[in-house]
Amino acid sequence: MERPARKDWFLAGGREIRYSRPLVMGIVNVTPDSFYDGGRYNLPEQAVARALELVDQGADILDVGAESTRPGAYPVSQEEELARLIPVVAEVAHRVTVPISVDTSKAAVAQAALNVGACIINDVSALRWDQEMASVVARSGAAVVLMHIRGTPPTMQQAPQYGDVVKEVASFFHERMQAAGEAGISKTHIILDPGIGFGKLLEHNLKLLNRLSDLTNMGCPVLVGLSRKAFIGQLLDRPVEHREWGTAAAVALAVDRGAAILRVHDVAMMADVVKVAAAVRASLPQSRQEHDA
């Protein structure tokens, strides 16, 4: 029997975003305290310049955030998040054509960003921390990233435990996709993310990456954010400034297992890694790719 064609598109604010190879999402942190680049792009003009630089380097999507979610981070107020984020999103939206995602779990921040040109809401709480978020996404037609997190950033790394982490993340995705559907968000607008480092120990992160194919066959594109994260530091015993090679290895393997979007700090380098890994994967018989994706 003929298999259905592999889904290689999603919808975001009236745009159809196609990916014949995985997309590189460049990170723009307008924060004083992000775990890698906190304080470097804190001023609006620095953040805008960084966004333009990442597009020049080959970013297919930008992800702009104004609240760190690193382990131990405490939330910023809505006013502060709006003040940091919105001028940057508005200016960047005037100057680039790539889709703009905003990394927020606050509905009012998401709405303000959509008003000035964002079309993807990257919600690390998967629509759970702000009751208004689902209706903001549904009404706007934005795409939404539903990320798995166990706990919240201040406490998430305090001895997280799982039976089978991959099965638990998959059942979380089923439950959140259903909740999103009930709120009027169609599957065509949903991106799934296993949330590497969000309430997970080294072994959990490794299993999720190893068995990513179990998550990429759920009918939605899968985003993986692993750039320079602590598990790479644990494996290599290297500080955050020296984790680019480790990131490259993990990005290549995530691409091989069917990831659709790679969220990274080092766009130029990882765009090359994604292209090579994607070309190797594309040389597989289509049936195995379809099985994985």
Point out the residues that are catalytic: 229, 263
Q: Does 104 bind ligand HH2 (CB under 6 A)?
A: no
> Measured between alpha carbons, how far is 279 from 267 in angstroms, rounded to an integer?
18
Residue 186: helix, strand or coil by DSSP?
Answer: coil
Q: Does 122 bind ligand HH2 (CB under 6 A)?
A: yes
Which one among 24, 85, 102, 145 touches ligand HH2, defined by CB under 6 A? Answer: 145
How many residues sit close enough to ligand HH2 to count as binding (CB under 6 A)?
A: 21
Helices 133-140 + 165-182 axis angle, to 10:
60
> Measured between alpha carbons, how far is 288 from 293 in angstroms, rounded to an integer?
9
Restricting to residues 194-233, name those near ligand HH2 by CB under 6 A: 195-196, 223, 225
Residue 175: helix, strand or coil by DSSP?
Answer: helix
CB of 64 to ligand HH2, least distance (A): 10
Which one among 17, 30, 48, 70 touches ligand HH2, defined by CB under 6 A? Answer: 70
Q: Does 129 bind ligand HH2 (CB under 6 A)?
A: no
Concatenated DSSP letters of 126-168: TT-S-TTHHHHHHHHT-EEEEE--SS-TTTTTSS---SSHHHH
Q: Which amino acid is at 247?
A: T
Binding mask 233-272 for ligand HH2 (x = CB under 6 A): ------------------------------x---------
Restricting to residues 11-40, name those near ligand HH2 by CB under 6 A: 27, 29, 31, 34-36
Residue 37 burial (10 A CB sphere; 0-12, 13-18, 19+): middle
Q: Which two tokens stand for residue 105?
A: 């779990």
Catalog residues that contact ligand HH2 under the rule CB under 6 A.
27, 29, 31, 34-36, 65, 68-70, 103, 122, 124, 145, 147, 193, 195-196, 223, 225, 263
